[in-house]
Structure 1
Amino acid sequence: MGKPWTLSTQSISSMNYFFLRTVSGLDDYELINQELEGYIKVIAERYWMIDSYTRSTIIKEIKDGDYFKDEPLEEIEQSLNTVIARLAGDDFPSVAHFYTNLIEQAREQ
C-alpha cells in the first residue's frame, strides 16, 4: 500500500480526480490503484470531517469531468461499490454513499 494519508484539500482533490476517472472507466493504473486504496480507507474513516470547501472542490471535479451525467444514482452507487471493493479489497458503503450524495449535489447545481 502507498503512504499513509492525511486529509488536505489538495490531496483529496488529486485522489478524487483519479478515483472518478477509475470508477468511470477512463483510467486503470496499478500504481494509482494502490494509492486509491489508501484514499478510500481515509474517506471511509473521516468523510464526515471533510470541510465544505473540499466538498465543493470534489463537486466541481464531478461537474467539470462530466462524470456519470445521465446514469441513475442507484447504478452509480452500485458502480462505486464495485470499484471500491476491487480497489480496497473490502466493501466501504459509506464511501459509495458519500460520493453518490456529492454526485447528486453536483447535478442540482
Structure 2
Amino acid sequence: MPIINFISDNDELIPVTVKSGTNVKDAALDNNIDGIFGECGGSCTCATCHVYVDENWFDKIPQSDEFEQDMLEFAPEVTWQSRLSCQIKVDDALDGIKIIIPTRQY
C-alpha cells in the first residue's frame, strides 16, 4: 500500500498509508491531517483541499484539467506546485509522494 508523506505548515512529517486509488483529500481527512478541509466533499468545487505537491513528485502525477485550474483561482497563495488534493489519486507509482499543506485555505 502506498504512503503519502504530508508535510504540515510547521514542517512536521506525517506519513500515512493508504489503499491504492485513494485520493489525497480523503487520506488527509481520514487521518485527521490539519489544514485540508474539502468542504465540497471532493467534487472539485471549493478549493479548500488545496495543497502543494513536492517539486520532485509534481511531474509524476497527472496534469490538472481546466476545471481544476479554474478552481485553484479561489485558493490563496497558489504556486506552480498547487493542486486540489481531491483530484490526486495515489497508486503504487506514487508511493512516498510528498504533499505540503498550505498555511491557510481561506
- TM-score scaled by structure 2? 0.29
User: Relative contact order (C-alpha < 8 Å, sep 6+): which is higher?
Assistant: 2
Q: Which has the higher helix share?
A: 1
